[in-house]
Structure 1
């Protein structure tokens, strides 16, 4: 999700797209059996949106 560069960034200094990526990553960390998302990619640029769509597709195929 390309979040490593944000590790030392205070939350008030990250943009909306970065906040959405952090929220999605947090939701995935608990390895949920179901994942409900409300426009999780809306604030992302097209390149990042496509990348995260692929990652979410992979994740949903591999839900335990």
Structure 2
């Protein structure tokens, strides 16, 4: 006999979308699971490597902070 699947983590999804992403409830409910996953990956860096020092320096030179 196989184990029952874990319940869907609604509390985690709501906290991530409404708190972490700043989405409204309407935005969350209109999003597909794939859209939510992509937004979380962009916001929290899942699956991404940090840029190299050279890449970061190039970005900073191309887009300097305004004083």
**Same fold per superposition (TM over 0.5):** no
Whose RCO is larger (CA < 8 A, sep 6+)? 1
TM-score (norm 1): 0.29
Tell which structure's C-alpha radius of gyration is larger.
2
TM-score (normalised: structure 2): 0.28
